[in-house]
Amino acid sequence: MEVPGNLSQTPVPQIGEWKHPEITDLRSPCPVINSLCNHGYLPRDGRNVTADEVIKAFEEVLGLAPDLANGLTKPAFMLHLDQESAKTNSENREAAGEEEIKKEEQSWFHSFLSKLPVPTMDTQLSLGLRNAGQVNVKGEPVLNLDQLSRHGAVEHDVSLVRNDFAQGDNTSPQPHLVEELLKASSDGKIFTIADFARLRNQRLREQKQDNPQLNFGLREAILAFGEVALIMCIWGVSFSGGYDKAPYEYIKAIFKDERIPFQEGWKRRTIPLTLAELTLNSTYLQAATFIDSFRQPGQHTTVAENSTRD
């Protein structure tokens, strides 16, 4: 007799094969981490993911250099503390695992992070997402994907395709915002840095209007620019030495399907992406966004746009 919903009949997909997540699988607000799960490079159920698995996928699948792969991943596996009370409330520290915090504070990575010149990132624990004692059977720290939605750690307001925290679901892509993003390509074939700059300003204007509890300061802006810069550096095409144009179909695959655009012809970079190159690309994007903010909505021609289009 056929048992409805009997999953034992379902063939197990190969690693690399894209599969839509099951209803019970956990997903995050990050389209790229979700894509890596949907291809099986990270656990498809989105549970008990280790830092080593993420770093391996970043290096081997996306082409990140070890400095960047480690630098993006390790802070997320630190303990999550409530932002306000993290520094002052000893009860909170105890609840979050005083022993684990002490160990983190003694690590070289913690001391490196604490020296990073990023204003308002004044507590290095603020990027942490993990619960105290959250480890796998081997004792390795693990995260579940829904923990990436913890507001104010990495997750921030004014996402490209997701609601703000105060608007409800801050995890799932919103179809109308995905459509808005896809329309941001001014020629429908390529996304330039200027297209993303214009979209970033447009999203900020929209959220200022729609969310009275909006929280988008320097810290959030740095994260938001970094996310787009990552996309450009990984999926952008380098015609003239800079990764400043990304094919429309690649962007659509990532944001709409949460899929790595292998079938559209994307191949991993040959030169791994370092933190230095990412920072340069993010600075370029910030400058383009600044220039764009002087223009009226709908007005397109800018210095940045001209310089990013052949």
Residue ranges binding ligand HEM (CB under 6 A): 28-33, 58, 62, 64, 72-73, 76, 148, 154-156, 159-162, 227, 230-231, 234
Calculate the dihedral angle through the C-alpha atoms of 272, 275, 278, 284, rounding to the nearest 10 degrees: -140
Angle at 136 between CA 130 and CA 139, to 5 degrees: 95
Q: From the CB of 168, what's the least distance to ligand HEM, in Å?
A: 13
Q: From the CB of 169, what's the least distance to ligand HEM, in Å?
A: 12
Q: Which residue has the tokens 């909505």?
A: 297
Q: From the CB of 259, what's the least distance to ligand HEM, in Å?
A: 13
Q: From the CB of 173, what's the least distance to ligand HEM, in Å?
A: 7
CA distance 160 to 149: 15
Of the two residues 80 and 93, which places its CB atom closer to ligand HEM in the complex? Answer: 80
Q: From the CB of 144, what's the least distance to ligand HEM, in Å?
A: 11
Q: In this structure, what token pair is assigned to residue 303?
A: 């210095």
Phi, psi of 123 (to 5 degrees): -120, 120
Of the two residues 33 and 184, which places its CB atom closer to ligand HEM in the complex? Answer: 33
Of the two residues 199 and 296, which places its CB atom closer to ligand HEM in the complex? Answer: 199
Of the two residues 26 and 234, which places its CB atom closer to ligand HEM in the complex? Answer: 234
Q: Is 307 exposed, middle or buried (0-12, 13-18, 19+ CB in 10 A)?
A: middle
Of the two residues 10 and 143, which places its CB atom closer to ligand HEM in the complex? Answer: 143
Q: 18, 259 in Cβ contact below 8 A?
A: yes
